[in-house]
Amino acid sequence: MMPTVFITGIDTDAGKSVATGLLARWLCTAGYSVITQKIAQTGCEKYSEDILLHRKLMGIAPTDEDREALSCPYLFSIPASPHLAAAREQQRIDPEVISRAAETLEKRYEYLIIEGVGGLYVPLNESLTVLDYLTRKRYPVILVSSAKLGSINHTLLSLEALSRRKLKVLGILYNEFPPEDPLIAEDSQQIFKRFLKEFGYQDRLISIPRIDFDGAALPHVDFSNFFI
Protein backbone atom coordinates (compact mmCIF):
# COMPACT_ATOMS: atom_id res chain seq x y z
CA MET A 1 0.00 0.00 0.00
CA MET A 2 1.13 3.54 -0.71
CA PRO A 3 1.54 5.89 2.28
CA THR A 4 -0.13 8.95 0.69
CA VAL A 5 -3.31 9.06 -1.40
CA PHE A 6 -5.02 12.08 -2.97
CA ILE A 7 -8.83 12.25 -3.11
CA THR A 8 -10.23 14.43 -5.87
CA GLY A 9 -13.74 14.78 -7.23
CA ILE A 10 -15.55 15.54 -10.44
CA ASP A 11 -16.75 18.85 -8.95
CA THR A 12 -17.65 20.59 -5.70
CA ASP A 13 -19.84 18.53 -3.36
CA ALA A 14 -19.03 15.27 -5.13
CA GLY A 15 -18.46 13.58 -1.78
CA LYS A 16 -14.69 14.01 -1.33
CA SER A 17 -14.86 14.74 2.40
CA VAL A 18 -16.97 11.68 3.18
CA ALA A 19 -14.74 9.54 0.98
CA THR A 20 -11.61 10.86 2.70
CA GLY A 21 -13.01 10.28 6.18
CA LEU A 22 -14.24 6.77 5.38
CA LEU A 23 -10.92 5.75 3.82
CA ALA A 24 -9.07 7.10 6.85
CA ARG A 25 -11.47 5.23 9.14
CA TRP A 26 -10.90 1.99 7.20
CA LEU A 27 -7.13 2.34 7.55
CA CYS A 28 -7.46 3.14 11.27
CA THR A 29 -9.58 0.02 11.75
CA ALA A 30 -6.84 -1.97 10.03
CA GLY A 31 -4.43 -0.80 12.72
CA TYR A 32 -2.55 1.98 10.93
CA SER A 33 -1.87 5.49 12.18
CA VAL A 34 -3.66 7.81 9.78
CA ILE A 35 -4.07 11.54 9.28
CA THR A 36 -5.95 13.54 6.66
CA GLN A 37 -5.19 16.86 5.04
CA LYS A 38 -7.38 19.39 3.22
CA ILE A 39 -5.10 21.44 0.98
CA ALA A 40 -7.31 24.55 1.28
CA GLN A 41 -10.77 25.34 2.62
CA THR A 42 -13.01 28.29 1.91
CA GLY A 43 -16.14 29.48 3.65
CA CYS A 44 -14.85 28.58 7.13
CA GLU A 45 -13.25 30.25 10.13
CA LYS A 46 -10.92 28.83 12.78
CA TYR A 47 -11.24 25.17 11.69
CA SER A 48 -11.81 23.43 8.38
CA GLU A 49 -15.32 21.98 8.28
CA ASP A 50 -14.06 19.17 6.06
CA ILE A 51 -11.30 18.25 8.49
CA LEU A 52 -13.84 18.17 11.32
CA LEU A 53 -15.99 15.83 9.21
CA HIS A 54 -12.97 13.60 8.62
CA ARG A 55 -12.39 13.39 12.38
CA LYS A 56 -16.06 12.63 13.03
CA LEU A 57 -16.01 9.79 10.52
CA MET A 58 -12.72 8.52 11.95
CA GLY A 59 -14.25 8.59 15.44
CA ILE A 60 -11.56 10.85 16.90
CA ALA A 61 -11.29 14.37 18.28
CA PRO A 62 -9.43 17.15 16.46
CA THR A 63 -5.69 16.48 16.54
CA ASP A 64 -2.63 18.54 17.39
CA GLU A 65 -2.01 18.73 13.65
CA ASP A 66 -5.41 20.35 13.21
CA ARG A 67 -4.55 22.98 15.79
CA GLU A 68 -1.14 23.52 14.15
CA ALA A 69 -2.87 24.11 10.78
CA LEU A 70 -0.86 21.28 9.23
CA SER A 71 -4.02 19.44 8.23
CA CYS A 72 -5.42 22.54 6.50
CA PRO A 73 -2.66 25.02 5.66
CA TYR A 74 -5.03 27.55 4.09
CA LEU A 75 -8.39 28.55 5.55
CA PHE A 76 -10.46 31.43 4.17
CA SER A 77 -13.78 32.82 5.34
CA ILE A 78 -15.10 33.75 1.89
CA PRO A 79 -16.98 30.87 0.19
CA ALA A 80 -15.32 31.12 -3.21
CA SER A 81 -12.70 29.42 -5.34
CA PRO A 82 -9.47 29.29 -3.28
CA HIS A 83 -7.53 31.65 -5.56
CA LEU A 84 -10.25 34.31 -5.18
CA ALA A 85 -10.88 33.71 -1.48
CA ALA A 86 -7.14 34.11 -0.86
CA ALA A 87 -6.90 37.29 -2.93
CA ARG A 88 -9.87 38.83 -1.10
CA GLU A 89 -7.94 38.32 2.13
CA GLN A 90 -4.72 39.72 0.62
CA GLN A 91 -3.10 36.30 0.49
CA ARG A 92 -1.74 33.96 -2.18
CA ILE A 93 -1.69 30.19 -1.88
CA ASP A 94 1.88 28.88 -1.99
CA PRO A 95 2.03 25.18 -2.98
CA GLU A 96 5.27 24.80 -1.04
CA VAL A 97 3.43 25.59 2.20
CA ILE A 98 0.94 22.80 1.46
CA SER A 99 3.73 20.43 0.45
CA ARG A 100 5.81 21.07 3.57
CA ALA A 101 2.77 20.50 5.78
CA ALA A 102 2.09 17.21 3.98
CA GLU A 103 5.70 16.10 4.41
CA THR A 104 5.48 16.81 8.15
CA LEU A 105 2.31 14.72 8.39
CA GLU A 106 3.94 11.90 6.43
CA LYS A 107 6.73 11.78 9.00
CA ARG A 108 4.29 11.55 11.92
CA TYR A 109 1.83 9.01 10.50
CA GLU A 110 1.90 5.81 8.49
CA TYR A 111 -0.76 7.02 6.05
CA LEU A 112 -1.79 10.45 4.80
CA ILE A 113 -5.06 10.91 2.92
CA ILE A 114 -5.23 14.29 1.17
CA GLU A 115 -8.50 15.87 0.08
CA GLY A 116 -8.38 18.31 -2.80
CA VAL A 117 -10.64 21.29 -3.30
CA GLY A 118 -13.39 21.24 -5.92
CA GLY A 119 -12.39 19.51 -9.14
CA LEU A 120 -9.05 19.09 -10.89
CA TYR A 121 -8.99 22.45 -12.65
CA VAL A 122 -9.86 24.59 -9.65
CA PRO A 123 -7.20 27.34 -9.46
CA LEU A 124 -5.17 27.55 -6.26
CA ASN A 125 -3.53 30.76 -7.43
CA GLU A 126 -3.25 32.67 -10.71
CA SER A 127 -0.85 30.12 -12.21
CA LEU A 128 -1.54 26.80 -10.45
CA THR A 129 -4.52 24.43 -10.47
CA VAL A 130 -5.21 21.42 -8.27
CA LEU A 131 -4.16 19.25 -11.21
CA ASP A 132 -0.87 21.13 -11.53
CA TYR A 133 -0.16 20.52 -7.84
CA LEU A 134 -1.00 16.84 -8.24
CA THR A 135 1.31 16.62 -11.24
CA ARG A 136 4.18 18.04 -9.18
CA LYS A 137 3.60 15.68 -6.27
CA ARG A 138 2.73 12.52 -8.25
CA TYR A 139 0.33 11.26 -5.59
CA PRO A 140 -1.84 8.26 -6.53
CA VAL A 141 -5.42 9.45 -7.03
CA ILE A 142 -8.91 8.27 -6.14
CA LEU A 143 -11.65 10.02 -8.13
CA VAL A 144 -15.05 10.58 -6.48
CA SER A 145 -18.06 10.53 -8.80
CA SER A 146 -21.81 9.82 -8.69
CA ALA A 147 -24.90 9.27 -10.83
CA LYS A 148 -26.15 12.84 -10.68
CA LEU A 149 -26.91 14.59 -13.96
CA GLY A 150 -23.70 15.54 -15.76
CA SER A 151 -21.48 13.12 -13.87
CA ILE A 152 -20.59 10.99 -16.90
CA ASN A 153 -19.18 13.97 -18.77
CA HIS A 154 -17.33 15.31 -15.72
CA THR A 155 -15.95 11.90 -14.79
CA LEU A 156 -14.60 11.09 -18.25
CA LEU A 157 -13.06 14.54 -18.62
CA SER A 158 -11.38 14.09 -15.23
CA LEU A 159 -10.03 10.67 -16.20
CA GLU A 160 -8.68 12.05 -19.46
CA ALA A 161 -6.97 14.93 -17.64
CA LEU A 162 -5.36 12.54 -15.15
CA SER A 163 -4.28 10.21 -17.95
CA ARG A 164 -2.70 13.03 -19.95
CA ARG A 165 -0.62 13.99 -16.89
CA LYS A 166 0.34 10.31 -16.49
CA LEU A 167 -0.99 10.21 -12.94
CA LYS A 168 -1.82 6.93 -11.24
CA VAL A 169 -5.54 6.41 -10.62
CA LEU A 170 -6.40 3.77 -8.03
CA GLY A 171 -10.07 3.78 -9.02
CA ILE A 172 -13.39 5.58 -8.76
CA LEU A 173 -15.44 6.01 -5.60
CA TYR A 174 -19.08 6.08 -6.61
CA ASN A 175 -21.14 8.25 -4.26
CA GLU A 176 -24.69 6.88 -3.98
CA PHE A 177 -25.97 10.15 -2.51
CA PRO A 178 -28.20 11.69 -3.67
CA PRO A 179 -29.97 8.49 -4.72
CA GLU A 180 -30.72 8.11 -8.41
CA ASP A 181 -32.71 5.70 -10.58
CA PRO A 182 -31.01 2.28 -10.23
CA LEU A 183 -30.92 1.96 -14.02
CA ILE A 184 -29.01 5.24 -14.32
CA ALA A 185 -26.65 4.27 -11.50
CA GLU A 186 -25.84 0.89 -13.04
CA ASP A 187 -25.30 2.41 -16.48
CA SER A 188 -23.01 5.11 -15.08
CA GLN A 189 -20.91 2.57 -13.20
CA GLN A 190 -20.46 0.40 -16.29
CA ILE A 191 -19.41 3.41 -18.35
CA PHE A 192 -16.93 4.50 -15.69
CA LYS A 193 -15.37 1.03 -15.54
CA ARG A 194 -15.08 0.85 -19.31
CA PHE A 195 -13.37 4.21 -19.58
CA LEU A 196 -11.02 3.44 -16.70
CA LYS A 197 -9.72 0.59 -18.84
CA GLU A 198 -9.66 2.74 -21.99
CA PHE A 199 -7.46 5.26 -20.22
CA GLY A 200 -5.10 2.50 -19.11
CA TYR A 201 -6.28 2.02 -15.52
CA GLN A 202 -7.71 -0.95 -13.65
CA ASP A 203 -11.53 -0.93 -13.73
CA ARG A 204 -11.85 -0.52 -9.98
CA LEU A 205 -15.01 1.09 -8.66
CA ILE A 206 -16.26 1.10 -5.07
CA SER A 207 -19.65 2.45 -4.00
CA ILE A 208 -20.21 4.69 -0.98
CA PRO A 209 -23.74 4.25 0.39
CA ARG A 210 -25.72 7.14 1.78
CA ILE A 211 -24.65 8.06 5.31
CA ASP A 212 -27.13 8.98 8.01
CA PHE A 213 -25.42 11.40 10.38
CA ASP A 214 -28.33 11.31 12.85
CA GLY A 215 -27.03 8.53 15.04
CA ALA A 216 -27.13 5.54 12.70
CA ALA A 217 -24.08 3.31 12.49
CA LEU A 218 -21.67 4.19 9.72
CA PRO A 219 -21.70 1.80 6.76
CA HIS A 220 -18.69 -0.43 6.24
CA VAL A 221 -16.87 0.36 3.02
CA ASP A 222 -14.06 -2.00 2.01
CA PHE A 223 -11.33 -0.10 0.17
CA SER A 224 -8.97 -3.06 -0.21
CA ASN A 225 -9.64 -3.36 -3.95
CA PHE A 226 -7.86 -0.04 -4.51
CA PHE A 227 -4.70 -1.33 -2.87
CA ILE A 228 -4.21 -4.67 -4.62
Residues involved in catalysis: 38
34 is in an annotated binding site: no
- 29 known member of a binding site: no
13 is in an annotated binding site: yes
Q: Which long-range contacts (CB under 8 A, 24 or more apart) does 155-162 make?
A: 155/10, 155/192, 155/195, 156/191, 156/195, 158/8, 158/10, 158/119, 158/120, 159/195, 159/196, 159/199, 159/201, 160/199, 161/120, 161/121, 161/131, 162/120, 162/131, 162/199
Question: Is 219 annotated as belonging to a binding site?
Answer: yes
Residue 144 is labelled as binding a ligand: no
Q: Measure the CA–CA gap between 84 and 67, rounded to whole angstroms.
A: 25
Q: Is 42 annotated as a binding residue?
A: yes
54 annotated among ligand-binding-site residues: no
**Type of residue numbered 13:** D
115 appears as a binding residue in the annotation: yes
Do residues 170 and 141 lie in contact, with contact meaning Cβ atoms separated by under 8 Å?
yes
Is 14 assigned to a binding site? yes
- N-terminal to C-terminal alpha carbon distance within the chain: 8
**Binding-site residues for substrate:** 42
**Binding-site residues for ATP:** 13-18, 50, 115-118, 175-176, 219-221
**Binding-site residues:** 13-18, 42, 50, 115-118, 175-176, 219-221
